[in-house]
Amino acid sequence: MDRPATKYARSGDYHIAYQTLGEGPPDLVYVPGWISHLDLYWEEPSIARFLRSLASFARLIIFDKRGIGLSDPVPADAMPNLEERTDDVRAVLDAVGSDRGALLGQGYGCPIALFFAASHPERVTHLVLYAATVKAGLRTDDFPWGPTEEERRAWREASAEWGADEFSASWVTRVAPSAAGDKQFVEWAARMMRAAASPATAQAFMRMQGFMDAREVLPLIRVPTLVLDRSEAHMPKGPVDMPPLEESRYVAERIPGAEFVALSGRDYLPWVGDQDSIVSEVAQFITGVAPVRAPDRVLLTVLFTDIVDSTRLAAELGDKRWRELLERHNTRVRGHLDEFRGREIDRAGDGFLTTFDGPARAIRCAQAIVASASRDGLEIRAGVHSGEVELLEQGIGGIAVHVGARVAAIAEPGEVLSTSTVKDLVAGSGIEFGERGEHALKGVPGSWRLYAASP
């Protein structure tokens, strides 16, 4: 499933960015939490997989709230209220031609989903609330899950570093502790923050959230409702981590007939950790049938590329010129990946780990990378192998990945080296190979016959 196109719905004076993927019925509208950015969703494998899993049983409709992400910006002194945000949901449904659909609200998106379900029940088949929050304001005697004024002030001070790597690392540690050690995830989160909202917008949004209180809406919900949460996850409100489950349980108890399900896990973000259990609960509730879980092992072709003598080159060129050259190289690699339908999985120093669903495309992509790099005075070694790959929450694993890495390490400068598996699979493609003999690959059993693809 390719990345969906971004379109715009008109809501009053504002344009609301949205995307659709999958096929219905049913329709499922995902109302995101605090911030979002439709394009950057697809740069993080875990959330891309989560959205595609939801789209496996419904036409999934995702959008950026007004003032956030790709939707029109909003003046900091005119942030939208709950009613206006609800209008945005209706505008998106109208734009995609959906008369009725299910709503999935997450965190700060739950008040919007609740208000829409209460005011437009004829357009809502089911309501799902994940990590439900209904009041984002300060702590009160009758609602102990909000921050104190002092804690809110501390958050405003901390948010001056909005979008910085340190701020992102702190945020990820709280909302997705399972990914806290993943440097790429932390960097992606920082990039999404910067792209989704400026520091002033983020602070204005939080101030506006402080006025949202959907508690009186709860007893008015008349559509089937499921409230989900994770047993060890804490809802982040400013600098404070709220007690697990308690607010979600409070919400479920006040919606007539609502179901409450507590899943295991400590990550607030639904796409980190065991996302399959969340998707399964949502699918079962909306369609009556749990989806077939995606296979965790699949045949893929892995391609490793690496710049030869990069340390020496960096020393000769100096930091600034080396960084510019490396950024140009990385941009070209990603362009070739788009051309040959490859997927970037990981970066290690100046190298890439990528995957392809066909070995011929992997070989031709590697050859294109080698050729374009040579024009910049860079030499690339590349290793290609096809085999069964384990699909992990973050990246891929399995013996095939280790084989690909070892093959790349053996390759000569400017060489695209492959295993006999790849050579056999691309027979008839017109790609020619030269034999490079048998090799022992460090840490991999047996000997391997390797072949170099001719330029």
Our CA angle for 136, 163, 347, nearest 5°, is 125
Q: How far, in Å, CA of 300 to CA of 80, rounded?
A: 46
The answer to whether residue 404 sits within a structural domain is yes
Q: Write the pLDDT tens digit of every residue in 324-353.
A: 999 999 999 999 999 998 989 988 778 999
Same domain, 139 and 195: yes
Q: How many domains does the chain have?
A: 2
3-state secondary structure 315-367: HHHCHHHHHHHHHHHHHHHHHHHHHCCCEEEEEECCEEEEEECCHHHHHHHHH
Same domain, 93 and 227: yes
Same domain, 17 and 96: yes
- pLDDT of res. 292: 60
The answer to whether residue 1 sits within a structural domain is no
Domain at 340, CATH number? 3.30.70.1230
Range of the domain at 348: 297-453
pLDDT band with cut points at 50, 70 and 90 for residue 204: confident
The answer to whether residue 121 sits within a structural domain is yes
Same domain, 321 and 340: yes
The answer to whether residue 16 sits within a structural domain is yes
Same domain, 161 and 243: yes
- pLDDT of res. 337: 93
The pLDDT of 146-160, averaged and rounded, is: 72
Chain centre to alpha carbon of residue 254: 32
Domain boundary (253, 287, 321) is at: 287
Domain boundary (287, 316, 331) is at: 287
pTM: 0.67
Domain boundary (247, 264, 287) is at: 287
Q: Which residues contact 23 (CB under 8 A, 6 or more apart)?
A: 59
Same domain, 195 and 335: no
The answer to whether residue 31 sits within a structural domain is yes
Same domain, 258 and 338: no
Domain at 184, CATH number? 3.40.50.1820
Same domain, 107 and 129: yes
Same domain, 179 and 75: yes
Residue 63 has pLDDT above 80, yes or no: yes
